[in-house]
Structure 1
Amino acid sequence: MIVKNLEEFRKAKGWSQKKLADQSGVSQTYISELEAAKKQPTVLIAQKLATAFGISLADLLRDEFRAPKCKEVKEIDSGSERSV
């Protein structure tokens, strides 16, 4: 699931693997290997990638891809929670 999501989030941002590498601090080679399903990321690497995308680790690991623009944000409004 992370393999598909990683590539989909990267493409949704319009980023190359190099751009993601620059933003996340994860090497472009390692990102390429992740997208090719040759490697599985550690939790630390997955968190770095999620942070670079501006999403939660849960969003990156989600079974169903959701574009970054669909990210749910919880707000407190007059004492009640609502999704925006």
Structure 2
Amino acid sequence: ILRVRALGLEAQIHDGDSYNPELALAGRFDYAFVLVFLLPLFVIALLFDLRSGEREAGRARMLAALPGAGTALLVRRVAVR
């Protein structure tokens, strides 16, 4: 006959995700997922027409003629958006 002690089973009863309600509230939220997948999508959505908008409006050639203004202007437009 094999005896099972209740002391060994008590730790298994409380072992689980729902034991700590503060941790269970957020679920299995992973910041690495946000950093790797959602942040690049957000950057693409924010800056998708920055260069093409300048070309379509006809300002790209004018800005290319100015010395050093092209990159500085793009950086300013990114900061404003």
TM band (smaller chain): under 0.3
Structure showing the higher strand proportion among its residues: 1
Q: Under a length normalisation based on structure 2, what TM-score does the superposition of the two structures give?
A: 0.22
Rg larger for: 2
Structure showing the higher helix proportion among its residues: 2
